[in-house]
């Protein structure tokens, strides 16, 4: 169960942190900060999964990329209209 819970909690932390970084400003003007934030949280989570569980690295990378792109797309569409 913790194999699924760790990436989910990491994504929730990344979402909340990115909203704090944005502070109501436009997403397109802060893409670099958001990508850096997601990268750092993703690397930290991946490091934990490698040390603690030693499996699911590729699955986590696919999940993390999809989660970021989904968040980015939803956030961009939601704020535009």
Domain boundaries defined on the chain: 2-80
Residue 27 pLDDT: 81
Q: Is the pLDDT of residue 73 over 90?
A: no
Structure tokens at 75: 């956030």
- How many Å apart are CA 14 and CA 46, to the nearest integer? 14
Q: Is the pLDDT of residue 81 over 50?
A: no
Q: How many CA atoms lie within 13 A of 4 on its CB side?
A: 1
Helix axes 57-80, 2-22, angle to 10 degrees: 30
Q: What is the mean pLDDT of residues 52-58?
A: 78
- How many Å apart are CA 12 and CA 8, to the nearest integer? 6
Q: How many CB atoms lie within 10 A of CB 29?
A: 9
Q: What is the mean pLDDT of residues 1-24?
A: 86
Q: What is the mean pLDDT of residues 63-78?
A: 87
pTM for this prediction: 0.81
């Amino acid at each position: 169960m913790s194999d699924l819970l760790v990436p989910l909690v990491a994504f929730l932390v990344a979402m909340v942190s990115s909203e704090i970084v944005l502070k109501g400003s436009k997403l397109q003007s802060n893409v670099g900060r958001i990508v850096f934030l997601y990268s750092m949280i993703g690397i930290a989570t991946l490091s934990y999964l490698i040390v603690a569980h030693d499996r699911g690295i590729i699955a986590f990378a696919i999940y993390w990329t999809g989660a970021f792109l989904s968040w980015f797309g939803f956030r961009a569409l939601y704020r535009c209209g």
